Amino acid sequence: MVTDEVKTPARPNARRWTVVRRKAAVIIAAMSEDEKLLLIRQERVPIRDAIWEMPAGQIDGNLDPSPTDLEEVALRELREETGYELQPGGKLITLGHYFSSPGFTDEHGYFFLAKPVSKSAAGATHDETESILDCRFFSAQKLARMIGDNEIRDANTLSIFARLVVGGFISLDRR
């Protein structure tokens, strides 16, 4: 956390502003061959609850990671948290990035779509700081219902789901 005296074009008089510095993260939408999306159910201590969310992880080290670094982190986090990996010949598609809460933190996340994925031979290798309770696939329609019912509440999953819909990667059509 850093507190600075800040001037901006809109506010020429300096004012104190506190910014929480956070590592960037990757968020991975993992899609099966039948176009279902893989979510994990993870205990989250700050909210005192377990929630369904897309696999994600912070980027260690370089403050300005290269596209290759980001892809490596995304594939590693997918494997570690879910026990799934990109199938041979599969695609890892970059979907841009977003800011989680730009009013107080510089934290941002890079979105990826991994398709298709399948179970890895090694299985999941959870970090000791993680408490992943479950991992399963959901249809886009089921995820939309879960969002509507407030079962999915984290910014990462809500944001990447919106990006997948508007990018045409998933359809909410019930045909």
Dihedral of the alpha carbons of 145, 150, 155, 158, in degrees to the nearest 10: 10
- Mean pLDDT score across all residues of the chain: 90
Give the CATH number for residue 36: 3.90.79.10
In angstroms, how far apart are the furthest CA atoms of the chain? 59
132 part of a folded domain: yes
Phi/psi of residue 30, each to 5°? -100, 125
Tell me the pLDDT tens digit for each residue of 15-70. Answer: 887 888 888 899 999 999 999 999 999 998 888 999 999 999 988 875 667 778 89
Q: How far is CA 150 from CA 133, 153, 159, in A?
A: 19, 6, 14
Cβ atoms of residues 172 and 165 within 8 Å: yes
Structural domain of residue 77, as residue ranges?
Answer: 23-166
Q: Which residue type sits at 111?
A: F
4 part of a folded domain: no
173 part of a folded domain: no
83 — alpha (psi -120 to 50), left (phi > 0) or beta?
left
10 part of a folded domain: no
Number of structural domains the chain divides into: 1
Lowest-pLDDT range, 97-101, 153-157, 167-171? 97-101
